[in-house]
């Protein structure tokens, strides 16, 4: 009798999909992920649960947006179409959902058949998102209510261009309030769908009573039996009053599907659980209907991708361990392109963030697709006057977190930097020289003004570059960074000499 009144639910979950509709190459002859294989797998698990008369929820912990040309081309609409067809029940918002502004996000939400939840967003009525995001929802399964609350990282404020009318509240406080509201509705089984990162998820688990399961994203954390996993699946934590709470996450890009079975007693307390991670491997066949739809989306992308704009005799390096730790030829190429584009205003120095460069360009022909993949963010080119002193300070900041491979590492042009990572933070920059009109270099003059070119992301304080907004005579040129680079490559001769120059 007691067992019969307990309630069991199966939670399938993904996070940080990042527009990865196609399988991801994992090494020779091996792929993981792909939306058509995800479909086959989910269908199989749904059938299994149907047969066992077990309720099932399909949930996503955010960052569906940004990462491949499917996003650049369709602004989330392609991913949304597949998520609808997969019958997702709910999703929380990740930081990247704000990458193209609130209108694009609203369009995505308008089309989605599933609920979008985030409890720590404060949305004003003037925002296009007003009325489209719920703090929490209640899903009814087999006569039982399950509360689902969402949380989005406040880092979104510096990671994306959020725009007016949306503020981020403290996630722990917002979660507590959502739990209180759900409890008042008589809900005693609560899932938090979060895009905060694993450290914050564990903290949340320890600080808020009433949450039973936290399904997280954002930190791209490997768990369970994934290679190089750092946490078990699930992680078992305790709430302040000693109740167990399960914390799970699912790495990234739909490579795996999280599958957590939980059983609640009559009071809505967790009784037992069992977790599995299913690799979306090559052994799973691709669903043919999904493949057919994917093909219609991929054709224009293939065409765009294949448009050749130039050639490089050497690899242009944007790989994360390099672009976030040292000046690379691709970083230099970008900086030079920005300087050329703004030359009529006598710009002298370019500074961008290494984290804004998301990949390398292989030797050989360069296509538009290559550029858009490496430079996916819709940032514009900004000009601003800074003093030598401010520039020095910016550069010191830029190299302050190099051991963490933080995205703030500066890729520059028009300057030569001599710095050392093993010196104390704040005094690593031994020497800064700036390029003169005749190509020679002189030490940075701390007293004088320099015309600097940078990205809108950094100018708005992204990656912690808050100092940039103190600059004078600001001009937002409106040019896209990616377009500026495409133009630069297209306009140069294709003998590759400028790439070799960039290498030095």
Residue ranges that bind ligand ATP, judged by CB under 6 A: 16, 63, 95-96, 99, 159-160, 218, 220, 353, 355-356, 377, 379, 407, 457, 462-463
Work out what residue 275 binds among ligand ATP, Zn ion, none; the CB cut-off runs from 5 to 8 Å by kind. Answer: none
Hunting for tokens 């600097």 — which residue is that? Answer: 452
Q: Which of 18, 189, 218, 341 binds Zn ion (CB under 5 A)?
A: 218
Q: How far is the CB of 127 from Zn ion (least distance, A)?
A: 21
CB of 162 to ligand ATP, least distance (A): 11
- Neighbouring CB atoms inside 10 A of 434's CB total 18
14 is an interface residue for Zn ion by CB under 5 A:
no
Q: How far apart are CA 94 and CA 154, in angstroms?
A: 10
Q: Are strands 244-249 and 235-238 parallel, antiparallel or unpaired?
A: antiparallel
Q: Where are the beta strands (DSSP E) in 15-107?
A: 24-25, 31-32, 56-60, 90-92
Binder among 14, 66, 72, 95 for Zn ion (CB under 5 A):
95
Output the smallest distance, CB 97 to Zn ion, in A: 9
User: 125: Cβ–Cβ under 8 A, 6 or more apart, which residues?
Assistant: none
Residues in the chain: 504
Size of the site for Zn ion (CB under 5 A): 4
Interface residue with Zn ion among 63, 79, 370, 373 (CB under 5 A) is 63
- Residue number with CB closer to ligand ATP (331 or 407): 407
Long-range contacts of 358-361 (CB under 8 A, 24+ apart): 358/318, 359/318, 359/319, 360/315, 360/316, 360/317, 360/318, 360/319, 360/330, 361/312, 361/315, 361/316, 361/318, 361/330
- Give which of ligand ATP, Zn ion, none residue 379 binds (C-beta under 5 to 8 Å, depending on kind): ligand ATP
Give the chain's end-to-end CA distance (angstroms, integer): 76
Give residues 408-447 in contact with Zn ion (rule: CB under 5 A).
none
Find the shortest distance in angstroms from Cβ 194 to ligand ATP.
12
Q: From ligand ATP, Zn ion, none, which one binds at residue 356 (CB under 5 to 8 Å depending on kind)?
A: ligand ATP
Residue with smaller CB distance to ligand ATP, 377 or 450:
377
The answer to whether residues 427 and 346 touch, using CB atoms and an 8 Å cutoff, is: no
**499 touches, from Zn ion, ligand ATP, none (C-beta below 5 to 8 Å by class):** none
Give the E-state strand segments of 64-154 in sequence order: 90-92, 115-117, 121-123, 136-141, 144-152
Q: Please check whether residue 21 is in contact with residue 221, taking contact to mean a CB–CB distance below 8 angstroms.
A: no
Tell me which of Zn ion, ligand ATP, none is bound by residue 97, counting a contact when its beta carbon lies within the kind-specific cut-off of 5 to 8 angstroms. none
- The nearest distance, CB 95 to Zn ion, in angstroms, is 5
| Residue ranges that bind Zn ion, judged by CB under 5 A | 63, 94-95, 218
């Amino acid at each position: 009798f007691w067992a019969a009144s307990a309630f069991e639910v199966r939670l399938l979950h993904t996070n940080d999909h990042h527009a990865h509709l196609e399988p991801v190459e994992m090494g020779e002859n091996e792929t993981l992920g792909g939306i058509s294989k995800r479909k086959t797998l989910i269908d199989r698990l749904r059938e299994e649960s149907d047969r066992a008369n077990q309720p099932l929820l399909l949930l996503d912990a955010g960052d569906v947006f940004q990462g491949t040309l499917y996003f650049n081309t369709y602004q989330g609409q392609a991913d949304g179409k597949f998520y609808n067809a997969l019958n997702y029940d709910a999703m929380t918002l990740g930081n990247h959902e704000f990458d193209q502004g609130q209108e694009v996000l609203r369009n995505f939400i308008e089309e989605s058949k599933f609920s979008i939840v985030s409890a720590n967003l404060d949305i004003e009525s003037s925002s296009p998102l007003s009325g489209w995001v719920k703090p929490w929802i209640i899903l009814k399964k087999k006569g039982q209510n399950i509360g689902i609350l969402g949380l989005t990282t406040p880092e979104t404020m510096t990671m994306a261009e959020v725009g007016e009318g949306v503020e981020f509240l403290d996630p722990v406080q917002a979660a507590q309030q959502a739990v209180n509201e759900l409890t008042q509705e008589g809900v005693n089984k609560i899932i938090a769908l979060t895009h905060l990162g694993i450290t914050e998820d564990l903290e949340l688990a320890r600080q808020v009573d009433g949450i039973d399961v936290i399904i997280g994203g954002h930190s791209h954390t490997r768990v369970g039996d994934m290679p190089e996993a750092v946490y078990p699946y699930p992680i078992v934590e305790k709430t302040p009053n000693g109740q167990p709470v399960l914390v799970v996450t699912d790495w990234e890009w739909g490579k795996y599907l999280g599958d957590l079975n939980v059983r609640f007693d009559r009071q809505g307390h967790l009784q037992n659980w069992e977790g599995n991670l299913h690799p979306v491997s090559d052994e799973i066949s691709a669903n043919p209907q999904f493949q057919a739809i994917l093909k219609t989306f991929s054709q224009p992308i293939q065409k765009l991708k294949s448009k050749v704009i130039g050639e490089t005799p050497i690899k242009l390096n944007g790989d994360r361990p390099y672009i976030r730790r040292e000046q690379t030829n691709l970083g230099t190429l970008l900086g030079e392109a920005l300087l050329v584009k703004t030359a009529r205003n006598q710009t002298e120095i370019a500074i961008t963030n290494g984290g804004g460069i998301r990949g390398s360009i292989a030797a050989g022909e360069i296509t538009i697709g290559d550029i858009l993949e490496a430079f996916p963010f819709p940032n514009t080119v900004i000009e601003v006057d800074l003093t030598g002193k401010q520039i020095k300070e910016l550069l010191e900041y830029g190299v302050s977190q190099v051991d963490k491979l933080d995205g703030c590492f500066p890729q520059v042009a028009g300057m030569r930097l001599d710095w050392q990572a093993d010196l104390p933070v704040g005094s690593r920059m031994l020497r800064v020289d700036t390029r003169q009109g005749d190509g020679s270099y002189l030490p940075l003059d701390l007293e004088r003004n320099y015309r600097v070119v940078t990205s809108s992301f950094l100018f708005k304080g992204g990656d912690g570059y808050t100092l940039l907004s103190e600059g004078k005579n600001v001009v937002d040129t409106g040019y896209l960074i990616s377009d500026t680079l495409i133009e630069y490559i297209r306009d140069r001769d294709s003998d590759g000499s400028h790439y070799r120059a960039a290498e030095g």
